[in-house]
Chains A and B, each alone.
Chain A
């Protein structure tokens, strides 16, 4: 994260805390895109993500007095986001234990990308859906690390700060997540049918 942004975040937070409620809009506008992307990736559902992002910012506002303005804002924001998403996630997947019931397919309808070649576009679309489904069905503790590190491109230490776990823990979760993702996303090399 660049220093200007950090400075801006701290300054905006101080303004909100000193009573300028409207300054909070700047925070929302600054981070809502990332939050929406994080929530969509974590939940696999755009509509839920929209609700979750509002909830995240409302929680951030109400917890702002606990934020240390000398520290970077983004990892703190992500930590609240992840806590909220875990709860939203629980609500979305209503526990209905019945034989044979499987997870909902994540509604990962990605926006159409500009493409020269319609075949590329089809493949890309298909791959987006599969990647999104693979991430959405990871166990939550692995999913949150994958979302922050691979999608939000946070560093290992920022991810560790956002999730309140050690960097070693982040690395070991990434290691485990890679194994699962490879299993889900790469067809078996011995399967001749691929070729």
Chain B
């Protein structure tokens, strides 16, 4: 069967061209005459009919069930609505709230540890107690660490490095088994991240202040700066 003509009609329709009633009728006739054509074009046909300015029939696939809604159900809606509005004394006014600005800073429960003095840079570690420092900088350097004496490699992968494994590999531990890295991050942002051990095991930071489920069923850590 030659479907070229119908495919052309549909491509034109898809691209915004108004279908002619003649084209629609030809397509309808072909659908009525051949079940294979009906199967192929029947679902798209009512949309084309509408764009050609033709009325949509009640048996059209575009009319899912409203057209034949049982009368009893319709009456019930009216009764339920009337019953509900009868309980209110008058026509109430909509409540308005005053808009408040976004609070500038989220709760920072991670710690600050100085590891070297570079002006205008703060150093945070999610694992230590906070030490108050102030800085005009937009950058905060965060120290991440993980105790994993058996690991061959540990990297940190998260929103701050576009989830690119291997971009931030933690420095090998001393005898204490603590892997670590310091990463400058943008103040005011919220980041989520995982540690990646030996390029295959994803874990949340055990010492992060916040842990959540990620969208894919595992857990990850959250850092609000």
Chain A interfacial positions (CB closer than 8 Å to B): 17, 21-22, 24-25, 28-29, 32-34, 36-38, 40-41, 46, 50, 53-54, 57-58, 61-66, 97-99, 108-111, 113-115, 119-120, 123-124, 127-128, 130-132, 134, 149-151, 153, 171, 175, 178-179, 181-182, 185-187, 189, 194-195
Task: Point out the residue from B44, B81, B94 that lies within 8 Å of A54, measured CB to CB.
Answer: B81
B interface residues, how many (CB within 8 angstroms): 50
In the complex the two chains form, is A185's CB within 8 Å of B77's CB? Answer: no
A99 B217 Cβ-Cβ under 8 A = yes
In contact, B217 and A40 (Cβ under 8 angstroms): no
Which residues of chain B in 57-106 are interfacial with respect to chain A, using CB atoms and an 8 Å cutoff?
59, 61-69, 73-74, 77-78, 80-82, 84-86, 88, 91-94
Known A32-B77, A97-B213; contact A110-B35, beta-carbon cutoff 8 A: no
A–B complex contacts, Cβ < 8 Å, 6 sampled: A36-B69, A63-B94, A97-B215, A171-B16, A186-B10, A195-B3
Shortest CB-to-CB span from B31 to chain A, Å, is 10
Q: Does B46 contact A (CB under 8 A)?
A: yes
Given contacts A21-B85, A25-B78, A54-B84, contact A150 B47 (CB under 8 A): yes
Q: B40 within 8 Å of A by Cβ?
A: yes
When the two chains form their complex, are residues A181 and B66 in contact, meaning their CB atoms are under 8 A apart? no
CB closest chain-A residue, reference B78: A28
Closest partner residue, chain B, to A56 (CB atom): B81
Could you give, for residues 2-38 of chain B, a 1 whenever the CB lies within 8 Å of some chain A CB and a 0 otherwise? 0100010010011010000000000000000001101
Q: Which residue on A lies nearest to B68, using beta carbons? A: A111
User: Separation in Å of the A184 CB from the closest CB of chain B?
Assistant: 9
